[in-house]
Amino acid sequence: MNTKYIKSLFVATAIGGFLTLSGCDEFLTIENDSTLTQDAIFASVSYTESALIGVYNMLPGDNGYGNRVSIIFPNAADDFRVSGDHNAQGRQGIAHYGVAPGNGELERPFNQLYGGIERANICIKNIPLSDIYTSGSASEQAKMRKLLGEALTLRAQFYYELVRNWGDVPAQFEPSSDIPDLYLTKTDQDEIYDRLLADLAQAAELVPWRSETGEPTTRVTKAAVKALRARIALARGGYSLRRTSKMMERRSNYREFYEVAKNECRDIILQNENGLSPIYEDVFRALHGSSRSSGASRELIWEVGAYGGGTQTDTKLGYSNGPRINQANPTYGQANGLVEAVPTYFYEFDSIGDSRRDVTLAYFAVEANNNKTLSTSLVMREGKFRKYWTNFNGTIQTLGINWPLIRYADVLLMFAEAENELNGPTSEAVAAYEEVRKRAFFQWEPRMGTTPTTKPEFFNAIVQERLLEFGGEGIRKYDLIRWNLLEPTILETRAKMRAMMEGTGRYANVPATVYFKPNQLLGRNVTAQEEALNFQLLAGFGTNGEPITGNVNQVMYQPSPTTTTPTGFTGVNWRAAITEAHISGPVRAFASQFTPNQSELFPIPTGALNANFRLTQDYGY
């Protein structure tokens, strides 16, 4: 949470009313309730900046990256999913790939994203028309150019989110007041992406590097522009569901977009302004305002700022995801933890050396008395966002935790992927890949394994590394879609779950039941790994039959030493928690409603269809 960002948002709220949508946030409906004219707003650098902060203000909140876009939309892959059986009208419909068009979880974010576009369009139109943009002092002109570049970048982010979730959507690049007929048809996603790539190329010329301005990580800098352009280029060059063919396809000129991604990432790397935090956990501690090292600020290229405790400007990170905390807990207060790990995800990490496992996965709940209790394998929680890492407690749900839009680790792995696609695993690609991996295996480098040397094997290594690096950060599902690996991964994950249930193959030594002694949560002042390894788990019995405790690195990788619960321990189903219903059940199975060449995209919300008679519902919905 950044105080500079917060102050700007308060100013924007005071004078930025002309940028707001109607009270109902209806699709593409505008309302001008400002006491200042647009000419007056954009005649002042400070007012223009406040107007731009009004655009930023459409990123957080329940319907933005504070909850639905960050937590609910993406958590349906082989890392995490939103908990619960399928319900087409609930958030579980999204997690199970069977969401109804009338589901409000879709409509409100859809409207907010378009609201952000409308606000950005107003800024993008009016900033270049301002006298201070064309004839102000040198510092005023530089500032206005920067603000224009930020607005272009924000609009690109909003459109990127729309396209990757809905495919072809109505696209307007002017304020609604300038468009005679707002009943727009869908624009092909390639056309939208091409426009965004051009806009971001312009923005990269307008926005300085962070070192040149000292801006916080909640503001767009040149690295953010270039990283977003790389991300969109990979989406443009990847597979997507096409409206005409109703099939997942990749265009024949895809390599030119990989070239764009490679060059943009290389620029960021060579600039040497950003880098990896030496400690993986500190990246996420920083989002809570409690990092213990300065390296995290170099890795976090762009964050969504959270402030104020409200559902429109804050986030529910750490409450709606993260470890579950009992509502009666007097120290930290309740956390719901609605996001669950796929059971097999735990075993994708190295059992000892990979520092990311115990940060990414929280396999415990916190009781009212502050005891940690072991979760079953089915209800492990997302661990990068934890309420007890903040200074909030009680019933509060909005915790001021920022959302990481782009990290430097992503830049490295995007570069490695693009370079490999174009030229195979060159030394540059390998170096970028291994930089991420070495940070994960700090002090355990011998357990890293050997980097593949062929193009297909190196690609598979990148697929796996992105699974491990970005778990719970809203990236995995969209990676699988652009690689056209979503359906194969869903089928593979079900097969892995079956093997784990049956205790076969790589899961032969996974315990059916794990026995633990409840012990106190150590809390804010210890690392995630210290918290995890502090768990007292039954590892075996001594010569006199006395229970011997061990840690997760031992117990979770060997058969249960007993089927009888020893005195003082509690048994929890681990492998035995998985049932046939979780693999093939009609409403409970992983991705139970997935239909290839349909479920890769959401249906257009019913409210948007009702508001625009030219808008069509496609892909079999």
Give CA–CA dist 476/198, Å, rounded. 26
Q: What is the CATH number that goes with domain 3-307+603-609? A: 1.25.40.390
Domain locations in the chain?
3-307+603-609, 512-577
Give CA–CA dist 138/126, Å, rounded. 19
Structure tokens at 504: 């076969």
Which of 181, 295, 162 has its CA nearest to residue 605? 162
Q: What is the pTM of this model?
A: 0.95
Give CA–CA dist 407/405, Å, rounded. 7
Structure tokens at 97: 């790939």
Strand pairing of 371-374 and 519-520?
antiparallel
Q: What number of other Cβ atoms are within 10 A of residue 158's Cβ?
A: 24
Residue 393's pLDDT is what?
A: 86
Residues for the chain: how many in total? 621
In sequence order, the 6+-apart residues with CB closer than 8 A to the CB of 546 are none
Q: What are phi and psi of 606, to 5 degrees?
A: -55, -40
Buried b (16+ CB within 10 A) or exposed e, 303-340: bbbbbbeebbbbbbbbbbbbbbbbeebeebbbbbbbbb
On whether the CB atoms of residues 582 and 573 are closer than 8 A, the answer is no
Give CA–CA dist 493/489, Å, rounded. 6
Residue 35's pLDDT is what?
A: 55
H/E stretch holding 198 reads helix 189-206
Residue 43's pLDDT is what?
A: 94
Give CA–CA dist 51/190, Å, rounded. 30
For the segment 537-570, what is each residue's pLDDT rounded down to a tens digit?
999 999 999 999 999 999 999 999 999 999 999 9
Cβ-in-10-Å burial (0-12, 13-18, 19+) of 130 comes to buried
Q: 437: helix, coil or strand?
A: helix
Which residue do the tokens 């579980």 mark?
92
Strands of the sheet containing 381-382, edge to edge, are 80-82, 339-341, 381-382, 361-362
Residue 295's pLDDT is what?
A: 84
Give CA–CA dist 469/409, Å, rounded. 8
Measured in whole angstroms, the distance separating CA 567 from the mean position of its chain's CA atoms is: 42
User: Helices marked H in 316-388 — which ranges?
Assistant: 357-360
Residues in the chain, pLDDT under 70: 1-36, 291-294
Residue 370's pLDDT is what?
A: 95
Which of 124, 110, 129 has its CA nearest to residue 173? 124
Which residue do the tokens 């719970």 mark?
472
